[in-house]
Amino acid sequence: MARQQKKLSKQELREDPLMKSVAQTQVWLEQNSKWLAIGVAAVVAVVIISVMMINSRHAANAESMAELASVRQTLTNQPDADVTEQLDDVATTYKGTSGGAEALIAIADLALNDGDNEKALEAYERFIKEYPSSYMLTAAAYEGKATALSNLEQYEEAAEVYDRVLRMDDATHVKANLLLKAARCYEKDGQLEEALKRVDQALETEPTASVKTEADVLKARLELEG
């Protein structure tokens, strides 16, 4: 036969640890209900603001890319058109967005292609300052900066910038080419040992046939110069 469970008295209930804990929790909730409500409201407000900010960033990114696409279309229809001013408007108006970042890189790349190395250098440095951790584009900006410096015959600084790009994860797929560019800058600066070291590193990356041929030629020349 099942044993009948003993019924606890009120005194025993009050002294039961679990019931005491429940009672204390209830009292605490009653005493702090106002602050709990404020805390919950604050959390909700933070969530709402965060969502609004994310949505705002998405909208700004979409708008900036649309403006950038319009400028690119102009350049496609009129290859000789000077779109630097329009690109600068996008870069300035949509600073901090994807379109703003790409517009700034486009300004620098166009200047570099036109042989205006000082303007290109200024634009690349502006990008690096405004977008220090931009995915992929940061490596491209540093490489462009190094190219502009090399064109301005500032070979040592150019080589050091190439070396910096080489340490970036985004540049892994072009490592051999970057090493050879750094090697040429060191060669022109008279630092033949550093140049040869970069060539050897390029050969160790298992480069493509064309890059290997280029590296072999450069290495032979450096060995003769040394």
Between CA 147 and CA 196 the distance in angstroms is 20
- Of the three residues 132, 166, 187, the one that is the final residue of a domain is 132
What is the average pLDDT across 72-91?
A: 88
**Distance (Å, rounded) from C-alpha 81 to C-alpha 75?**
6
Residue 33 forms part of a structural domain: no
- Residues 166 and 214 reside in one and the same domain: yes
Average pLDDT over residues 79-92: 89
In a domain, 177, yes or no: yes
User: How many other CB atoms sit within 10 Å of the CB of residue 211?
Assistant: 18
Domain count, the chain: 2
Per-residue pLDDT for 76 more than 90? no
Per the domain annotation, does 175 fall within a domain?
yes
Confidence tier at 214 by pLDDT (50, 70, 90):
very high
C-alpha closest to that of 190 among 149, 159, 162, 161: 159
Mean pLDDT of 148-154: 97
Lowest mean pLDDT among 53-67, 123-137, 208-222: 53-67
- pLDDT at residue 17, as a whole number: 64
Specify whether the CB–CB gap between 71 and 103 falls below 8 A: yes
Dig out the tokens for 124 from the structure. Answer: 């690349």
Both 60 and 113 in a single domain? yes
Residue bearing tokens 């060539």: 199
Instruction: Tell me whether residue 6 is in a domain.
Output: no
Question: What is the mean predicted confidence (pLDDT) over 6-15?
Answer: 53
How many angstroms separate the CA atoms of 84 and 65, rounded? 16
* Residue 123 located in a structural domain: yes
pLDDT at 206: 82
Q: Is residue 107, in this structure, part of any structural domain at all?
A: yes
For residues 149 and 171, is the Cβ–Cβ distance under 8 A? no
Question: Could you tell me which residue, 198 or 174, shows the higher pLDDT?
Answer: 198
The confidence band for 110, taking pLDDT boundaries of 50, 70 and 90, is very high
Q: Domain of 91?
A: 56-132
Could you tell me if residue 193 is inside a domain?
yes
* Side chain identity, residue 204: E
127 and 157 share one domain? no
Domain boundary residue, one of 98, 132, 166: 132
Contact (CB, 8 A) for 178 and 171: yes
Name the band, by pLDDT with cuts 50, 70 and 90, for residue 107: very high
What CATH code is carried by the domain that includes residue 158? 1.25.40.10
pTM above 0.95, yes or no: no
pLDDT average, residue stretch 56-63:
72
Name the domain boundary from 132, 162, 197. Answer: 132
How far is 196 from 212, CA to CA, in rounded Å? 14
Q: Is the pLDDT confidence value at 67 over 90?
A: no
pLDDT-wise least confident of 23-27, 63-67, 136-140: 23-27
119 and 73 belong to one structural domain? yes
- How buried is 147 (Cβ within 10 angstroms: 0-12 exposed, 13-18 middle, 19+ buried)? buried
Does 30 fall in a domain?
no
The arithmetic mean of pLDDT across residues 112-123, rounded, is 96
Interval 118-125 mean pLDDT: 96
Give CA–CA dist 93/165, Å, rounded.
29
The average pLDDT across 221-225 equals 91
d(CA 34, CA 128): 49
